[in-house]
């Protein structure tokens, strides 16, 4: 067997192990009995240990050496897989086991402390945990290595190849335009009452509509399903097994429906990856910024469009008769209402990225040593005021609102805005194809999905995110199309 085939065999075993982890993780979120948690942690630890030791084994590394030495004999996809494996094993082998374990247990404690601190609005109770996490993240960044600043080493975990300095430029360009759009959008939306869509929305009826819509945009229920959780997510348990989750607001069906469109966007990306390459980089999603482009595209560009509701509003009104009183214009104004919110996860399209810009700035300053943890709450409030013109009334609605930092996930937030930019860019370029645009105008999305499959899903991780965007659209990720989209949607 060739060295490359042997690598694939080990990778396939790792993928089985990781898929088992995904399966029990999914179970933990969807309905595991409470007392099962401690054994579940032991299962996860065993699986992580097994996968890690296979991936960083002398055998795997030696096989990588052999493939690199004989790379000429490999095809393009094979070479890409070897390249990604090398990058990933470099990262994995550079962290000593002790650091990985300390980081895991520190974050586990920090997560518990964060839940309590947020509940009690008590930043000081969380601060020492954040300090410990930052210390460990510094150590990780030093071991992983970086050229310019530690942030680069961390974001690479979520968005391979991204650089803080470039992101900062991009976000600096976005900032004034986003503030301007947000301000105007919120003002214009004041004419739309917040309660316009409210009425009786029984869960079973929402489930009917969610399924019809997810199926119609192309989510494959033979290879997936939808369950209920407090925090919606999408996960893949195998090459043909994608699980979405949602939650229900019994007064407003759109909350769950847009959530399902969002998760189905993630899910169709996973379903569009080469099943035969499951467990190989070529069969794996490339980055969070690309993943989020798929969810945001289906949620916002498709799901909040006039063509979409021209088709679906009559069906929604059959299931939820109180909607019969709304015409399409009213309805669209309601689902595209903008409003300032202290809370990121409640933010609409017009204001969302401002929340990300704030977090990126603060994370980078924390990691560069320009901001101390005891200065964080004030810095948050100052930055928030500069962006939104108002100050959060408490920490719960300020610097304690997100779970990410308690999980040690610094460098994660920018991928949300990258996702928005990529979504707009992909949608814009796809719509240059007359057939895709024509179908989309009739709320029929097979041509669009086919285009995304070919341009974004099929390559897996064989192209870096920016190269993937360039190959798909002719340009690397840019701010232009997202701003144009927001202006068209909210200001025209």
CA distance 153 to 131: 18
Number of other residues whose CB lies within 10 A of the CB of residue 70: 13
Q: Is 51 in the site for a second copy (CB under 8 A)?
A: no
Q: Is 36 in the site for a second copy (CB under 8 A)?
A: yes
Asked whether 308 and 273 are in contact (CB, 8 A), the reply is no
Residues binding a second copy: number (CB under 8 A)? 35
Tell the smallest beta-carbon distance from residue 131 to a second copy (Å). 34
Q: Is 237 in the site for a second copy (CB under 8 A)?
A: yes
Contacts for 83 with CB less than 8 Å, ≥ 6 apart? none
Tell the smallest beta-carbon distance from residue 214 to a second copy (Å). 13
Tell the smallest beta-carbon distance from residue 266 to a second copy (Å). 16
Q: Is 402 in the site for a second copy (CB under 8 A)?
A: no
Tell the smallest beta-carbon distance from residue 223 to a second copy (Å). 4
CA distance 462 to 273: 11
Tell the smallest beta-carbon distance from residue 59 to a second copy (Å). 18
Cβ-based nearer residue to a second copy, 32 or 407: 32
Cβ-based nearer residue to a second copy, 216 or 478: 216
Tell the smallest beta-carbon distance from residue 280 to a second copy (Å). 14
CA distance 272 to 242: 11
Q: Near a second copy by CB under 8 A, which window of 181-189, 224-232, 340-348, 415-423?
A: 224-232
What sign has the CA pseudo-torsion 445, 450, 452, 458?
positive
| Packed helices 328-335 and 306-319: angle between N→C axes, nearest 10 degrees | 100
CA distance 406 to 47: 23
Question: Can 101 be counted among the known catalytic residues?
Answer: no
**Chain center to CA of 372:** 28
Tell the smallest beta-carbon distance from residue 197 to a second copy (Å). 26
Number of residues in the chain: 492
Q: Is 221 in the site for a second copy (CB under 8 A)?
A: yes
Q: Is 14 in the site for a second copy (CB under 8 A)?
A: no
Candidates 39, 145, 394, 435; binder of a second copy (CB under 8 A) is 39
Q: Near a second copy by CB under 8 A, which window of 84-92, 137-145, 217-225, 291-299?
A: 217-225
Q: What is the DSSP string of 97-109?
A: HHHHHHHHHHHHH
Cβ-based nearer residue to a second copy, 34 or 176: 34
Burial tier of 82 (Cβ tally within 10 Å: 0-12, 13-18, 19+): buried
Q: Is 40 in the site for a second copy (CB under 8 A)?
A: yes
Q: Of 134, 108, 106, which Cα lies nearest the Cα of 374?
A: 134
Q: Is 278 in the site for a second copy (CB under 8 A)?
A: yes
Tell the smallest beta-carbon distance from residue 41 to a second copy (Å). 10
Choosing from 29, 159, 263, 292, the catalytic residue is: 263
Coil, helix or strand at residue 246: strand
Candidates 34, 75, 176, 474; binder of a second copy (CB under 8 A) is 34
Cβ-based nearer residue to a second copy, 131 or 220: 220
Q: Which helix (H) or strand (E) holds 173?
A: helix 164-189
Cβ-based nearer residue to a second copy, 19 or 415: 19
Candidates 238, 317, 375, 403; binder of a second copy (CB under 8 A) is 238
Q: Is 55 in the site for a second copy (CB under 8 A)?
A: no
Q: Is 48 in the site for a second copy (CB under 8 A)?
A: no
Q: Of 28, 74, 49, 475, which Cα lies nearest the Cα of 280?
A: 74
Asked whether 161 and 466 are in contact (CB, 8 A), the reply is yes
Cβ-based nearer residue to a second copy, 29 or 159: 29
Cβ-based nearer residue to a second copy, 35 or 76: 35
Cβ-based nearer residue to a second copy, 142 or 215: 215
Candidates 2, 6, 10, 43; binder of a second copy (CB under 8 A) is 43
CA distance 442 to 445: 8
Q: Near a second copy by CB under 8 A, which window of 24-32, 96-104, 147-155, 483-491?
A: 24-32
Cβ-based nearer residue to a second copy, 167 or 244: 244
Q: Of 325, 277, 320, 272, which Cα lies nearest the Cα of 294?
A: 272
Asked whether 103 and 408 are in contact (CB, 8 A), the reply is yes
Tell the smallest beta-carbon distance from residue 190 to a second copy (Å). 41
CA distance 146 to 91: 12
Half-sphere exposure of 238 (CA within 13 A, CB side): 10
| Inter-residue long-range contacts of 102-105, CB under 8 Å, 24+ positions, other chains counted | 102/136, 103/136, 103/140, 103/408
Contact residues toward a second copy (CB under 8 A) are 13, 16-17, 19-20, 23-24, 27, 31-36, 38-40, 42-43, 46-47, 220-225, 227, 237-242, 278
Catalytic residue positions, numbered: 263
């Amino acid at each position: 067997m060739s060295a490359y085939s042997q690598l694939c065999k080990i990778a396939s075993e790792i993928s089985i192990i990781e898929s088992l982890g995904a399966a029990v993780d999914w179970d933990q979120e969807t309905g595991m009995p409470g007392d099962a948690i401690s054994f579940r942690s032991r299962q996860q630890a065993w699986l992580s240990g097994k996968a890690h030791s296979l991936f960083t084994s002398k055998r795997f590394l030696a096989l990588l050496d052999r493939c690199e030495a004989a790379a000429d004999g490999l095809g393009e996809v094979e070479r890409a897989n070897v390249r990604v494996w090398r990058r990933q094993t470099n990262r994995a082998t550079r962290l000593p086991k002790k650091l990985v374990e300390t980081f895991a247990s520190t974050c586990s404690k920090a997560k518990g402390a964060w839940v309590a601190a947020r509940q009690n609005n008590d930043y000081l109770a969380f601060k020492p945990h954040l300090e410990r996490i930052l210390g460990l993240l510094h150590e990780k960044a030093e071991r992983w290595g970086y050229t310019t600043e530690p942030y680069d080493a961390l974001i690479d975990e979520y968005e391979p190849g991204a650089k803080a300095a470039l992101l900062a430029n991009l976000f600096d360009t976005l900032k004034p335009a986003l503030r301007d759009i947000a301000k105007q959008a919120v003002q214009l939306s004041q004419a739309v009452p917040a309660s316009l869509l409210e009425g009786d929305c029984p869960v079973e009826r929402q489930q009917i509509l969610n399924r019809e819509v997810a199926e119609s945009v192309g989510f494959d229920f033979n290879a997936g399903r939808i369950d209920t959780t407090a925090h919606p997510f999408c996960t893949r348990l195998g090459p043909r097994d994608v699980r979405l989750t949602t939650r229900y607001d019994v007064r407003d069906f759109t909350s769950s429906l847009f959530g399902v469109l969002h998760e189905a966007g993630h899910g169709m990306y996973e379903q569009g990856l080469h099943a035969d390459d499951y467990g190989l980089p070529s069969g794996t999603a490339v980055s969070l910024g690309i993943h989020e482009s798929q969810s945001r595209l289906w949620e916002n560009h498709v799901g909040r469009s006039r063509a979409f509701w021209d088709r679906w509003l009559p069906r929604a009104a059959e299931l939820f008769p109180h909607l019969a009183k709304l015409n399409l214009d009213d309805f669209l104004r309601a689902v595209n209402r903008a409003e300032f919110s202290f809370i990121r996860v409640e933010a609409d399209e017009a204001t969302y990225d401002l929340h990300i810009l704030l977090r990126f700035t603060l994370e980078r300053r924390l990691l560069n040593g320009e901001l101390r943890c005891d200065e964080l709450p004030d810095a948050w409030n100052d930055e928030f005021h500069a962006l939104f013109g108002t100050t959060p009334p408490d920490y719960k609605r300020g610097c304690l609102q997100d779970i990410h930092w308690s999980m040690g996930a610094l460098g994660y937030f920018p991928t949300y805005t990258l996702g928005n930019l990529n979504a707009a860019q992909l949608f814009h370029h796809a719509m240059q194809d007359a057939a895709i645009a024509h179908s989309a105008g009739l709320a029929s999305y097979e041509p669009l999905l086919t285009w995304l499959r070919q341009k974004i899903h099929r390559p897996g991780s064989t192209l870096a995110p920016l190269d993937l965007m360039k190959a798909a659209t002719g340009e690397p990720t840019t701010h232009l199309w997202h701003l144009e989209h927001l202006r068209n949607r909210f200001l025209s």
